[in-house]
């Protein structure tokens, strides 16, 4: 099933992305307070989905590598971390473009923003660490790094709900939430980005000839 | 279980013996901790002495940990421990505990230095000591595990050790959020704060997974 999805990921990606673009700009209603700038949110959430998936897979492959010591697991863990880091960066950038007109500033010391930045720095360090560990003949050390680094991911999700900040709670927040049209658009965008993630993964695996 | 504690205590005893015999690291800490405290006090100021305390302790802990592990490698102690007929997780666990002891020593020196130069410091001592201990456990778990692994790598080992610094950022964030709560709340309110509870959860998690990961990563 997974290999089928990966093989045809580009076709699914094009279909869902076209639909997503239509829904983002034409179907989803304009947000009353924020206006059109709120539409960045759909893509922003798509990036979040991708980095969550990528870092979770990085954790799984790191654990597998520690247990089985197969080189392919180490390589796959690295590939997932690469994709995750790229999308964490995109999340930060798209968040900043949203924050400027809404909060009046590019950056603020909000707990969710800070923890996401930490996550980016963590996995960026992991990428360098992995390269050096492989060169030094100790790739297992980078798996230990990846497992400990993953601890920050739940903090990113918990921080928006528990720590006092200004980031909005999208799912299950008290009094917040989004309309059904917005939710439909968001789900289609999620699907588009999921296939984009699979497509990128497929390309990257082919590049490394795994 | 009996053997576990026997080996565990033996390794701690050995580390304490080596440190007291060599004395170089203890002297290094005795000089570095007050010096860095004074430098931080002069440059950062005395507006928030608690934050100053944690900042200084952190810098000293980062430097001290590498020194302690390097001494172990230079004396060949790490090879004896790694080839010893016991589970490697015990080695890592005892090293973590030993570094917690060193961290308490660092905290003690920094506290005395800052008490001498700053008047209003640490109103609620129980909350403060709790945070100090939790902070030390988290930092010690990560630093000890990685310094044990990386000090034996020649050349790029030091640079790789610097790359693990971001791993302590989540702890720093949680500890930083807990600092204002030390003086604000007393007793139960402090312990029911999210930052402190998260800090406790991650300390327990790290204390459990770090020795296991260490034994998996260093296979004989």
Structure token digits, residue A15 = 């279909």
pLDDT bucket at A69, cuts 50 / 70 / 90: confident
Chain A residues whose beta carbon lies within 8 Å of the beta carbon of residue B198: 155, 158
Average pLDDT over residues A62-73: 91
Is 90 exceeded by the pLDDT of residue A124?
yes
> Global pTM?
0.87
Residue A49's pLDDT band, with cuts at 50, 70 and 90, is: very high
pLDDT band for position B186 (cuts 50, 70, 90): low
Q: Which pLDDT does position B120 carry in this prediction? A: 65
Structure confidence at residue B132 as a pLDDT band (50, 70, 90): confident
What does the pLDDT read at residue A65? 93
What is the structure's pLDDT at B184? 67
Distance from CA of A107 to the nearest CA of B (A): 17
Which of A86-95, B71-80, B209-218 is predicted most confidently? A86-95
**A116 and B CB contact within 8 Å:** no
Tell me if chain B has a CB within 8 Å of the CB of A136.
yes
Mean pLDDT, range A17-41, rounded to an integer: 86
Q: Under DSSP, is residue A164 helix (H, G, I), strand (E, B) or coil?
A: coil
* pLDDT of the residue at A174: 54
* Total domains present in chain A: 1
Chain A touched by B149 (CB under 8 Å): yes
Q: What is the mean pLDDT of residues B146-162?
A: 80
Does position B185 have pLDDT exceeding 70, yes or no? no
What contacts B81, CB < 8 A, 6 or more positions away? B11, B91
Q: What is the CATH number of the domain that holds A14?
A: 1.20.120
Tell me if chain B has a CB within 8 Å of the CB of A63.
no
Answer yes or no: do A138 and B177 touch at CB < 8 A.
Answer: no
Residues B102-128 have a mean pLDDT of 81
Domain membership of residue A28 as a residue range? 2-208
B167 touches A: beta carbon within 8 Å: yes
Mean pLDDT, to the nearest integer, of B135-149? 88
Per the model's pLDDT, the better-predicted residue between B86 and B205 turns out to be: B205
**pLDDT (0 to 100) of residue A2:** 67
User: Which ipTM was obtained for this model?
Assistant: 0.84
Distance from C-alpha of B48 to C-alpha of A66, rounded to nearest angstrom: 43
Look at B207 and B84; give whichever has higher pLDDT. B207
Average pLDDT over every residue of A159-173: 66
Question: Do residue B160 and residue A158 have CB atoms under 8 angstroms apart?
Answer: no
Output the pLDDT for position A177.
66
Beta bridge partners of A31: A35
The pLDDT, as a whole number, for residue A90 is: 95
Residue B119 CA: distances (Å) to CA of A153, B48, B186: 40, 11, 21
Q: Tell whether B139 lies on the interface with A, counting CB pairs under 8 A.
A: no
> What is the pLDDT of chain B when averaged over all its residues?
82
| Cα-to-chain-centroid distance, residue B205 | 16
- For residue A92, name the pLDDT band (cuts at 50, 70, 90): very high
- Could you give the CA distance from residue B99 to residue B106 in angstroms, rounded to a whole number? 10
Residues in chain A closer than 8 A to B170 (CB atoms): 115, 118, 151-152, 155
Mean predicted confidence (pLDDT) in B33-62: 84
Confidence of residue A73 (pLDDT cuts 50, 70, 90): very high
* B164 in A contact zone (CB under 8 Å): yes
CB contact under 8 A, B210 and A133: no
Calculate how close chain B gets to A197, using CA atoms only, in Å: 26
Q: A131: exposed, middle or buried (C-beta count within 10 Å: 0-12, 13-18, 19+)?
A: middle
User: A184-193, B32-41, B188-197: lowest mean pLDDT where?
Assistant: B188-197
Query: Is the backbone of residue A188 left (phi > 0), alpha (psi -120 to 50) or beta?
Result: alpha
What is the average pLDDT value for chain A, to the nearest integer?
87
* B chain contacts of residue A67, beta-carbon cutoff 8 Å: 216
């Amino acid at each position: 099933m997974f290999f089928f999805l990966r093989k045809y990921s580009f076709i699914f990606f094009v279909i869902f992305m076209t639909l997503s673009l239509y829904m983002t700009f034409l179907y989803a209603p304009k947000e009353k307070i924020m206006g059109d700038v709120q539409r960045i949110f759909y893509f922003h959430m798509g990036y979040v989905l991708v980095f969550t998936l990528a870092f979770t897979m990085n954790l799984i492959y790191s654990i597998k590598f520690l247990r089985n010591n197969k080189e392919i697991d180490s390589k796959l863990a690295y590939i997932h971390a690469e994709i995750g880091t790229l999308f964490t960066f995109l999340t930060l950038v798209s968040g900043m473009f949203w924050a400027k007109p809404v909060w009046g500033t590019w950056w603020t010391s909000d707990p969710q923003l800070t923890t996401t930045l930490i996550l980016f720095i963590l996995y960026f360090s992991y990428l360098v660490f992995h390269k050096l560990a492989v060169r030094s003949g100790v790739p297992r050390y980078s798996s230990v790094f990846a497992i400990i680094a993953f601890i920050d991911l739940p903090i990113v999700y918990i921080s928006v709900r528990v720590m006092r900040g200004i980031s909005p709670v999208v799912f299950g927040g008290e009094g917040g939430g989004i309309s059904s049209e917005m939710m439909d658009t968001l789900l289609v965008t999620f699907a588009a980005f999921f296939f984009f993630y699979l497509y990128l993964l497929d390309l990257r695996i082919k590049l490394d000839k795994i | 279980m009996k053997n576990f504690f026997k080996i565990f205590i033996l390794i701690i005893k050995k580390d304490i013996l080596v440190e007291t015999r060599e004395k170089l690291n203890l002297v290094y800490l005795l000089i570095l901790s007050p010096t860095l405290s004074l430098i931080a006090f002069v440059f950062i100021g005395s507006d928030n002495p608690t934050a100053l305390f944690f900042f200084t302790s952190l810098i000293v802990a980062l430097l001290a940990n590498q020194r302690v592990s390097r001494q172990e490698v230079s004396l060949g102690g790490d090879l004896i421990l790694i080839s010893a007929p016991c589970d490697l997780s015990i080695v890592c666990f005892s090293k973590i505990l030993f570094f917690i002891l060193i961290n308490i020593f660092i905290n003690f020196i920094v506290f005395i230095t800052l008490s001498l130069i700053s008047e209003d410091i640490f109103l609620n001592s129980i909350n403060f000591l709790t945070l100090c201990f939790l902070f030390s456990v988290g930092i010690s778990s990560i630093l000890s595990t990685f310094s044990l692994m990386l000090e034996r790598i020649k050349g790029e080992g030091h640079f790789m050790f610097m790359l693990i610094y971001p791993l302590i950022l989540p702890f720093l964030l949680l500890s930083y959020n807990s600092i204002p709560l030390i003086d604000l709340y007393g007793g139960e309110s402090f312990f029911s704060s999210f930052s402190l509870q998260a800090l406790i959860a991650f300390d327990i998690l790290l204390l459990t997974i770090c020795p296991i990961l260490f034994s998996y990563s260093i296979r004989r």
